[in-house]
A = this chain, B = another copy of it.
């Protein structure tokens, strides 16, 4: 039997510890192709590069492993892999492991999850992995068996059409996670602030975005609740933005 073809992407860039761990884990399962940004691309969401050209570099090409970097966004990486670099459609796309949470509203800013969603849009079972740890030395060890189980399950049974998975892991406390829960996206919001500083060149102000995450949602079926209780979370994610519950309300506007 042929080994499954696994496409790996991320948004933290090709040298991030998260993708290196994911590569190692996926090479135990199948033939791996990596197409990842040549520099960090956090918070790029579903953006694509249209005003500058794309260039890629071949980092390694062997029989069951290929690795490329691209000067683009995570979604560019998926499109370039599917429509330029790969001869065959991958059996699965895995994105990450992202350094930092993509739970709750963080998903909307996430390049990691946008890459997974782009994969699902192309009809390929896709999953994004994140860990709530920005540290270069983040401990991924307890995520490995979950990642392996999820990927093997998807390779065996597929995913529902038009659905990607958003998987988040708590920051390791040195013990195995309590388990994994299928959740909905928690209702949260970033209350932003802008840090003003003065430019030494001309004395004019410039600004850095900073913010606090506000969790409005205290329910127990959310990703935030699972993570807080040291469970991994899985949220099935779709890319139909239509708010079906409010179609009749808007119709009643009679514009």
Contact = CB atoms under 8 A, between A and B. Distances in A.
Secondary structure class of chain A's binding surface, majority of residues: mixed
Nearest to A240: B185
A45 to B, nearest CB: 4
Interface stretch (A1-9, A19-27, A51-59): A51-59
A66 interface: no
Contacts of A236: 242-243, 246-247, 249-250
Contacts of A38: none
A204 B55 contact: yes
Interface string A233-255: 01111111111111101110101
Contacts of A238: 241-243, 246
A134 interface: no
A207 B55 contact: yes
A54 B207 contact: yes
Contacts of A245: 160
A241 B105 CA distance: 9
Interface string A41-75: 01111111111011110000000000000000000
A163 interface: yes
A209 interface: yes
A115 to B, nearest CB: 12
Contact of A242 (B157, B162, B237, B249): B237
17 contacts: A43-B47, A45-B48, A50-B209, A53-B197, A55-B205, A55-B206, A79-B192, A107-B241, A108-B121, A153-B253, A162-B187, A166-B241, A182-B253, A184-B240, A187-B240, A236-B246, A238-B242
Interface string A182-207: 10110101011110010000001111
A76 interface: yes
A43 B52 CA distance: 12
Contacts of A114: 45
A105 B121 contact: yes
Contact of A241 (B108, B122, B153, B204): B108
B46 A46 contact: yes
Contacts of A111: 47
Contacts of A242: 184-185, 235-238
